């Protein structure tokens, strides 16, 4: 192998290695699809030590607090939200006057099954889901232009089933969408 060709191969290997390293730094828990990023200010349960509920660990978060960025703890909790978490634990490891905080980001274990069969029983409501439910996320159904509302709702329910849901709320449509109809809502699991 020529010296020039070996250099090109080595540069290619190093480049692939660097891309893999950068990709690995993205979402600490690697569970972005299951727990997508949440908005700053989201609700986060706090535990000084280990959590007393079952959680999926999403990794460690750290913040060097900005003096004008609001409370230092809220900045840390916003990092938990950005990881898709709803739990911060290990908070007692930080000093009271610290300007650099660390915590473990986690998400309470999901209640919803991974997937259910089309045709599963689904409740539909314009209101919010019951208080003891898990919000899974948005669902969209596409129906033929001549399908009835009931047919479109069944397709929306089936989309919720495929995500493990048994409740669809905040339903919109059907509305025209090209040569089809589109219906949207939010799926939840309410055991």
Per-residue pLDDT band at 183 (split at 50, 70, 90): very high
**Average per-residue pLDDT for the chain:** 79
Q: How far apart are CA 154 and CA 42, in angstroms?
A: 32
Nearest-angstrom CA–CA distance, 55 and 57: 6
Give 44-62 pLDDT, tens digit per residue.
888 889 887 778 889 999 9
* 91: pLDDT strictly greater than 80: yes
β-pair type (55-64, 134-144): unpaired
Instruction: Name the CA dihedral angle for 44, 46, 52, 57, rounded to a multiple of 10 degrees.
Output: 60
- CATH architecture under which domain 123-189 falls: 2-Layer Sandwich (3.30)
Averaged pLDDT, 21-31:
39
CA atoms within 13 A on the CB side of 48: 3
How many other β-carbons are positioned within 10 Å of the β-carbon of residue 180?
14
- Could you tell me the CA-to-CA distances from 159 to 109, 124, 177 in Å, in that order? 22, 13, 18
Domain ranges of the chain: 45-108, 123-189
């Amino acid at each position: 192998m020529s010296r020039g060709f070996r250099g090109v191969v080595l540069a290619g290997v190093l480049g692939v290695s660097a891309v893999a390293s950068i990709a690995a730094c993205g979402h600490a828990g690697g569970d972005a699809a299951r727990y997508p990023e949440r908005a700053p200010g989201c609700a986060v349960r706090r535990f000084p030590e280990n959590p007393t509920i079952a959680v999926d660990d999403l990794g460690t978060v750290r913040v060097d607090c900005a003096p004008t960025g609001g409370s230092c703890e809220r900045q840390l909790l916003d990092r938990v939200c950005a990881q898709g978490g709803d739990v911060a634990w290990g908070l007692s490891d930080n000093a009271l006057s610290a300007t650099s905080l660390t915590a473990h980001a986690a998400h309470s274990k999901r209640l919803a099954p991974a997937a259910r069969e089309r045709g599963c029983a689904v409740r539909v409501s314009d209101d919010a889901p019951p208080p003891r439910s898990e919000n899974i996320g948005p669902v969209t159904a596409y129906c033929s232009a001549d399908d009835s509302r009931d047919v479109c709702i069944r397709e929306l329910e089936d989309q919720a089933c495929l995500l493990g849901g048994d409740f669809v709320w905040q339903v919109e449509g059907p509305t025209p969408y090209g040569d089809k109809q589109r219906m949207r809502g939010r799926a939840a699991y309410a055991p």
